[in-house]
Amino acid sequence: MKEKKEKLPKEQKTKKEPKVKKEKKDKAPNKFIQTIKKKWLIDGTKTTILVLIIIAAFIAINIGMQALDLTPLDFTQEQLYTLTDESKERVKDIDKDVNIYFIGYTDDDSTVDLAKQYGKANEKINVEAIEDVNDRPDLTQKYGIESGTTGIIIECGDRSKVLTASDLVTYDMTTYETISIAEEKLTSSILSVTTDEIPKVYFLEGYSDFSLAQNMYYLSVYLGNEINETESLDILSTGKVPDDCDTLVITTPSKDFDDVATNSILDYINNGGNILWLNAAIAEEQDFPNVNKILATYGVKPFEVGIIRETDTSKMVSESPDLIMPEIQYSDITKDIYNTTGVIFVNATKINIDTDNLTELNVEENDLLLASEGSYFRTNFNNQSNAAADDEETGTFVVGAEMIKTIKEANEETGESEVSSKLVIYGENYFTSDYQLSQNSQYGAIQLAYNKDLVLNSIAYLVDREEDITARKDTGTVTYTATEQQDTIIRAIIFTVPAVIIIVGIIVWQVRRRKK
């Protein structure tokens, strides 16, 4: 009998086997990796040697990169840590050896890195970071540097200039940013110590309580640091203003000029000489016809008895109406401190300009500093009120001005150049002096510390030495120095962590190898 085939339930019908995809052939093994595995990772000794070779190669590459002294990569939009083409162009032709010593700095400091780029632009410029000044007794003896001191010395032969960390930054009161001017200062300092021409600045003495020898010592130091020669002028002895005078500084007269001084100064003006005039407020009437004669040459009227006081608290210091912060006007002299509150005057006086006669005198006026609209001129010193009296003049006052007097017009036919004389005048003298505001005031030495840029820029302008370079970066920066603990952490991340990873890798590999 034929066997009947049993029908399977539908659900038990054999399903078709799914198609199996053909596996892709493995790629041919990397010969280099296979060589490492079979020859170098076959035992612990060879593996250790391989690791040591890798570490040695890593160290060698780092040493080689340091020896190449490559310029650090600067990813900041404003190129904060890269030397500008302008600076490179200005220093490339210097043919004198220049040494820049960073006292109290380390080689990895960003300012040191920036300075080293000068050496790449000109091999005559050498940069050295000296973390411990005791390692350089020659500099200690030459510059009187004490242990723990930080600073930057730019040296060329017998000339040198010293910068502090505060010289490398400025503060913008409008944006509240700390702005780096390190490149500007370094470049101008290099050019200053390598220049062949040194301006000569004379201070008139014998007619004022202010002089180089008395009350203006710090200004003399700052001027010397800016590569200027300063000297006192006894005009009765010389009979004239010396021919090598690039700028004559006249400080608040306490007595009238005699005829010798008056005629000598007028001759100096007519020959195109320039004057910086500093005049403090006066407390009593003065009969100084010869002094006023000199001022009138530039269209400046006699000074009046009185001081400027401020009512706007944002324009005064420590709510003291006598400590005013004038509004700085943009000019060649003030461009570096424009839009800042970097000028503080104490007991300033107003400068009266004879505007109606300036054209006749061939004089052009440029305002430099103005007291605010909320100021007033106090003539009665017995009045202790901080408000202006009904009879006191109010409004904006000129406290700093430049007067340019044309002595002779240029003549194209004869080829003669124009001859002009410049007067830069400020209605304040204490801001450049060694005087303190008061013995008990926390603002005792505020004047020169905050105002030195104004007077130094004024003299640089008058001696016809324009700012060597303006390379100020356009963004706020904050100086940062790692603490000892932070430095240890950073070094651990760079060196210790990779070493630990390598060691752990070796241990893991050995454990797995033994389990096979």
Strand order in the sheet with 398-408: 229-233, 200-204, 247-251, 275-278, 419-426, 398-408, 363-370, 327-328
For the beta carbon of residue 272, count every other beta carbon within 10 angstroms. 16
| Most distant CA atoms of the chain, gap in Å | 159
Beta-strand runs (E) in 168-255: 169-172, 177-180, 200-204, 229-233, 247-251
What is the spatial distance between Cα 234 and Cα 291, in angstroms, rounded to a whole number?
16
Among 33-37, 120-124, 181-185, 224-228, the range scoring the smallest mean pLDDT is 33-37
What is the spatial distance between Cα 351 and Cα 401, in angstroms, rounded to a whole number?
8
Shared-domain flag, residues 286 and 309: yes
In one-letter notation, the amino acid at residue 225 is: N
| Residue 468 confidence (pLDDT) | 44
pLDDT(374) > 50: yes
What single-letter DSSP state applies at residue 507? H
Is residue 473, in this structure, part of any structural domain at all?
no
pLDDT(511) > 70: no
Shared-domain flag, residues 166 and 227: no
Is residue 80, in this structure, part of any structural domain at all?
yes
Which one has a higher pLDDT value, 290 or 70?
290
Element (H, E) at 127: strand 125-130
Domain of 193, in residue numbers: 76-198
Is residue 455, in this structure, part of any structural domain at all?
yes
Is residue 7, in this structure, part of any structural domain at all?
no
Is residue 142, in this structure, part of any structural domain at all?
yes
Rounded to 5 degrees, what are φ and ψ at 329? -95, 145
What is the residue-averaged pLDDT of the chain?
79
Chosen domain end from 157, 174, 198: 198
**361-394: string of b/e by CB count within 10 Å (b at 16+)?**
eebebbbbbbbbebbbbbeeeeeeeeebeeeeee
Please compute the mean of the pLDDT values over residues 461-489 and round it to a whole number.
53
Shared-domain flag, residues 176 and 252: no
Shared-domain flag, residues 393 and 427: yes
pLDDT(473) > 50: no
pTM recorded for the entire structure: 0.65
Is residue 241, in this structure, part of any structural domain at all?
yes
Is residue 103, in this structure, part of any structural domain at all?
yes
Chosen domain end from 170, 198, 226: 198
Shared-domain flag, residues 447 and 344: yes
Domain count, the chain: 4
Shared-domain flag, residues 211 and 263: yes
pLDDT tens per residue across span 265-295 = 999 999 999 999 999 999 888 899 999 999 9
Element (H, E) at 296: helix 289-297
Contacts for 390 with CB less than 8 Å, ≥ 6 apart: none
pLDDT(242) > 90: yes
Shared-domain flag, residues 436 and 382: yes
Nearest-10 crossing angle of helices 446-462, 217-225: 50
What single-letter DSSP state applies at residue 411? B
What is the spatial distance between Cα 509 and Cα 122, in angstroms, rounded to a whole number?
52
Cα–Cα distances (Å) from 468 to 186, 244, 251, 377, in that order, read 10, 22, 27, 38
Is residue 92, in this structure, part of any structural domain at all?
yes
For residue 376, give the CATH number of its domain. Answer: 3.40.50
Confidence of residue 481 (pLDDT cuts 50, 70, 90): very low
Chosen domain end from 48, 68, 88: 68
| Residue 508 confidence (pLDDT) | 60
Shared-domain flag, residues 516 and 381: no
Cα 166 versus chain centre, distance: 8
Shared-domain flag, residues 57 and 81: no
Shared-domain flag, residues 286 and 355: yes
Shared-domain flag, residues 172 and 268: no
Shared-domain flag, residues 316 and 229: yes
